[in-house]
Amino acid sequence: MAITTPSPPAEAPSKTPYIIAWACCVLFYFLQYALRSAPGVMVPELTAAFGLSALGISALIGLYYYTYSAFAIVSGACFDRYGARYVIPVGLVLMAGGAVLFGLGSNAAAQAGRLLQGAGSAFAFTGAVYLATRGFPAKYLATAIGFTQCFGMLGGASGQFVVAPLIHGAFSWQQFWLIGGAVAAVLAIVVLVVTPGGHPVQTPAQKSVLSMFTPYRSVLTNPQSYLCGFAAGLLFLPTTIGDMIWGVSFLRAGWSIDYSEAVNRAAMVPLGWVVGCPLLGYVADHYGRRKPVLIGGALVMLAASLVILYAPHGVVPPYLAGFLLGVGSGAAMIPYTIIKEVNADEVKGSATGAINFLVFTLSALMAPIYGWALLELSAGGVLGIEVFQKAGVIGVAGIVLAIILSLFIRETGSALATPLNRPMPPLQPALGGV
């Protein structure tokens, strides 16, 4: 009788291609953040080129966020429907086209370009998280997402500190946008080549456009998704609104600090974010606990905010409180990890799209509310320290509310050894891209 030997088990697909693709998508995220913040250092040039007032320039730059918020939902659906191989290059091409249009010098082209930049940029972070989920073990996922956000903030800083001298020396502001578009186009080709395929083939019933958004039914009917989204959004407010919009004004009008020093002090918050995102992500992964790190970072934010707003001037070193606020705000990225772990594997792209939409929508709604509060409290007069202290209650209350919401978020860390934290099964090879 012939003796048969069992065939060896098939090896799991290598994770390395996903990690390489993730690294390329991190560069995409860096570039989109640089293009997002670059207009802030070329306001005089844009004003002269387009003949717009300061309000008109603000409206032009702000067009980015309309399409970014909307396409945060579209991008998540696209990743779950089509995978990453073709979706990420499409985002890069949209952003490249938007950069080129912005650099043409026409008002109408600049408006269309800014809208395209926002639409394309919405695919960067979602794509990076999508690839990180498939390239890294679950216990390192928060670290990978933290490093992704770290590079994004470095891109935002580069869009100011690097671009400003370039457009006043090496080349004009129009050339900057044309070069940025060319870099994005080249990166699109690289991503298309290195990103692995293997996304499951869709059945005819799943190929309709509306079917792309079906995964959101699962994400948006999960109460944990809203807890993650609103907790993250509230923790973003002290940095995106409190520091990046009003930080310099607070320091100048409130404490009578000169412009250059105020800029340097306000810059400590994003610098702290660069440190805090990967650091807190690593701590959450190392100890296998998400919630204690999330709440701990929020408490650091709360303490730093109270010191900045209400402590007598000079009690703490000038740069320390802002840096600690930025480090603590790195906790805002932890819900991005949790929302993927409290939802099914097949809707992870939509989960990231949903939290991005909630975070940016909350920021868009609160920015005018905070500005209105400043105007009301000052009675249309001078913004002084007392006005900022009273309006600052909004940010402080937001942090407190985020901590309360975090108490109800489900713990998903690897220390629990729950089914949600088991390694993902290998992807099955199929026609089409990932």
Q: Could you report the per-residue pLDDT of 379-419, keeping only the tens digit for each? A: 767 778 888 889 899 999 999 999 999 999 999 887 775 44
Residues in contact with 215: Cβ distance below 8 Å, sequence separation at least 6, in sequence order: 76, 77, 80, 346, 347, 349, 350
Is the pLDDT confidence value at 340 over 70?
A: yes
Whether 44 and 189 map to the same domain: the answer is yes
Residues in contact with 76: Cβ distance below 8 Å, sequence separation at least 6, in sequence order: 126, 215, 216, 349, 350, 351, 352, 353, 354, 356
Residue 124's nearest CA partner among 79, 163, 166, 162 is 79
On whether residue 296 sits in a domain, the answer given is yes
Residue 353's nearest CA partner among 125, 21, 92, 89 is 125
Whether 188 and 273 map to the same domain: the answer is no
Whether 69 and 172 map to the same domain: the answer is yes
pLDDT (average), residues 260-287: 82
On whether residue 3 sits in a domain, the answer given is no
148, 167, 200 — which closes off a domain? 200
Q: Please give the residue range of the domain that contains residue 45.
A: 14-200
Q: State how many domains the chain has.
A: 2
CA gap 90, 222 in Å, rounded: 30
Whether 193 and 219 map to the same domain: the answer is no
Residue 392's nearest CA partner among 262, 263, 271, 241 is 241
CA gap 273, 238 in Å, rounded: 12
CATH label of the domain that carries residue 183: 1.20.1250.20
Q: Tokens 């807190």 identify what position?
A: 280
pTM here?
A: 0.71
pLDDT (average), residues 248-260: 77
Residue 415's nearest CA partner among 300, 293, 298 is 293
Residue 102's nearest CA partner among 90, 91, 117 is 117
Alpha-helical runs (H) found in 6-140: 16-37, 43-50, 54-82, 87-102, 107-135
Whether 187 and 220 map to the same domain: the answer is no
CA gap 158, 44 in Å, rounded: 19
Is the pLDDT confidence value at 228 over 90?
A: yes
Whether 59 and 167 map to the same domain: the answer is yes
Whether 229 and 299 map to the same domain: the answer is yes
What pLDDT does 39 receive? 76
174, 200, 226 — which closes off a domain? 200
CA gap 326, 156 in Å, rounded: 14
- The percent of residues in the chain predicted with pLDDT above 90, rounded, is 32
Is the pLDDT confidence value at 369 over 60?
A: yes
- Sign of dihedral through CA atoms 129, 134, 135, 137? positive
CA gap 245, 349 in Å, rounded: 30
Number of Cβ within 10 Å of residue 281's Cβ equals 29
